[in-house]
Amino acid sequence: MNKSLLSQGLGLLLAGTIACSPEEVMVDYQSMSDAERLEAATEMAHHTIIVDGHVDLPYRMKVGGFTLQREVLDVSTRTDGGNFDFPRSREGGLDAPFMSIYLPARYQEMGGAKKLADSLIMMTKRLAETWPDKFAMAYSPDDIEAHFKEGKISLPMGMENGAGIEDDIANVGYFYKQGIRYITLTHGKDNLIGDSSYDTSRTHGGLTAFGEQVVKEMNRVGIMVDISHVSDDTFYDVMELTDVPVIASHSSSRKFTPGFERNMDDKMVELLGKKQGVIMINFGGSFIDGDYNERTAVVREHIVNWLAQNNLSRSDSAAQAYIEQYTRENNVFPDVSLVADHIDHVVAIAGIDYVGFGSDFDGVGDSLPNGLKDVSMYPNLIAELLKRGYSKEDIEKICYKNVFRVWRAVEAASSAS
């Protein structure tokens, strides 16, 4: 197939500048070469809104020492570290990364969760204020669509850990006014709202009475309920209580990670679909590959032993050269195809309307799979899906239409209340 003609034709088609009959718009992506398919996927990524349910840039800025009193991290240019910046987002076609307002569980005990949330929200807004030609805050799907037309990257926000609500139900409405559009009910520990998947204490056996108030208030004000991180009991309590669909902003399928409750099992995915929700697949190695942690431990143990035997530290140039070579030859990372496997599995259980992207970029360290190391690489995943027979319409649903459907349903229920 002629690449130039493919690029020109697909670009016009995706941009909507040519009218075609249903027969004419059918493209057999599976018959393309890998290079042609990647070109088609890249064109598709650049002409389709891509929403990512979870990017941890705000906390990356905090860890990097950036504060409200100092300049924010310059992500308008290519950065040396991390997974997100404007140039790489443009390369990958990312248009609306949900900025994670991440509140570590320790703030539940030491206090200050709401204060931290406020500072991270202001830091995120500073990005849009500093580079208004590149970034814009987004509080609705309509905002994202408008910014997409303007060539700007939207910055919707979700609060990761309901601890920021503290013990005051009025803070749900407060955070809506601050721009928060989903709240992940728990994080690594049980909190005042309910139990966490990571906490074996099972303090409450699911949602608390206060947690039930929080879910209802989120429904009322128009904040999406995010069930990533919650225990199974908390999930089922939420599903029984909520009046509108919910999201899992950055979770994957437990089928591939047996015993990892942080992911969702088949029954949960099926129920989420029946209730019109969406699971946004996490790209992190331990989320998509049940053997990843074991393989990583083996490599880590070898390196520690080699350093001791050679009386070297990691900072020594000889050690760095050896570690680079050894890790390259003993690659522990899964491949982008495994992320597609998770999407396939969700589609098989619930359907194409109930899955999306929730990378956890800037939040899962260096565990990201080959082919999905940063925000420039969404076309690699799209190409893999096209190879498996997904259509352009399917890709659009995964990229943004599914989460927009949930978001609009939550908006509509709020405005009608």
* Unique residue bearing structure tokens 């790489």: 88
What CA–CA distance (Å, rounded) separates 319 from 270? 48
Is 300 inside a domain boundary? yes
Residue whose C-alpha is closest to residue 191's, from 219, 159, 223, 220: 159
Q: Which pLDDT does position 6 carry in this prediction?
A: 47
Backbone Cα Rg of the chain:
21
The CA-atom distances, in angstroms, between 194 and each of 165, 183, 206, 226 are: 13, 13, 5, 13
What CA–CA distance (Å, rounded) separates 100 from 283? 15
User: Terminus-to-terminus CA distance in the chain, angstroms?
Assistant: 54
Q: Is residue 212 domain-shared with residue 259, that is, in the same domain?
A: yes
Q: Which pLDDT does position 416 carry in this prediction?
A: 58
**Domain termination residue (choose one: 333, 355, 385):** 333
Q: What is the pTM of this model?
A: 0.90
Task: Tell me the helix, strand and coil percentages in the chain, rounded to 5.
Answer: 55, 10, 35
Q: Is residue 384 domain-shared with residue 300, that is, in the same domain?
A: no
Continuous H helices in 84-140? 86-92, 106-110, 113-130
Q: Which pLDDT does position 325 carry in this prediction?
A: 87
Cβ neighbors of 300 (< 8 A, separation 6 or more) are none
What CA–CA distance (Å, rounded) separates 342 from 257? 11
Q: Would you give the distance in Å from CA 276 to the centre of its chain?
A: 19
Evaluate whether 245 touches 276 at the Cβ level (below 8 Å): yes
**Domain termination residue (choose one: 333, 358, 385):** 333
What CA–CA distance (Å, rounded) separates 5 from 313? 54
Is 381 inside a domain boundary? yes
Q: Is residue 144 domain-shared with residue 273, that is, in the same domain?
A: yes
Q: At residue 55, what are phi and psi to the nearest 5 degrees? A: -130, 125
Q: Is residue 281 domain-shared with residue 326, that is, in the same domain?
A: no
Cβ neighbors of 32 (< 8 A, separation 6 or more) are 1, 6, 40, 386
Q: Is residue 328 domain-shared with residue 342, that is, in the same domain?
A: no
Q: Which domain holds residue 298?
A: 291-333
Q: Which pLDDT does position 64 carry in this prediction?
A: 81
Residue 227, token pair as written in the block: 């069930």
Q: Is residue 164 domain-shared with residue 257, that is, in the same domain?
A: yes
Q: Which pLDDT does position 18 carry in this prediction?
A: 38
Is 79 inside a domain boundary? yes
Q: Taking the CB of residue 24, how many other CB atoms lie within 10 A of it? A: 10
Q: Is residue 190 domain-shared with residue 313, that is, in the same domain?
A: no
Q: Which pLDDT does position 8 carry in this prediction?
A: 44
Q: Is residue 358 domain-shared with residue 210, that is, in the same domain?
A: yes
Q: Is residue 396 domain-shared with residue 252, that is, in the same domain?
A: yes
**Domain termination residue (choose one: 274, 307, 333):** 333
Count the domains in the chain. 2
* Unique residue bearing structure tokens 């530290």: 313
Q: Is residue 189 domain-shared with residue 300, that is, in the same domain?
A: no
Is 256 inside a domain boundary? yes
Q: Would you give the distance in Å from CA 217 to the centre of its chain?
A: 24
Tens-digit pLDDT string for the chain (417 aa): 444 434 444 554 444 433 444 444 678 999 999 999 999 999 999 999 999 999 999 999 988 877 655 567 899 999 988 999 999 999 999 999 999 999 999 999 899 999 999 999 999 999 999 999 999 999 999 999 999 999 999 999 999 999 999 999 999 999 999 999 999 999 999 999 999 999 999 999 999 999 999 999 999 999 999 999 999 999 999 999 999 999 999 999 999 999 999 999 999 999 999 999 999 999 999 999 998 888 888 888 888 999 999 998 988 999 899 888 888 788 778 899 999 999 999 999 999 999 999 999 999 988 999 999 999 999 999 999 999 999 999 999 999 999 999 999 999 999 754
Q: Over the range 84-98, which residues count as b (16 or more CB within 10 Å of their CB) and which as e? A: bbbebbbbbbbbbbb
Evaluate whether 411 touches 145 at the Cβ level (below 8 Å): no
Beta strands in 276-318, from DSSP E residues, in sequence order: 278-281
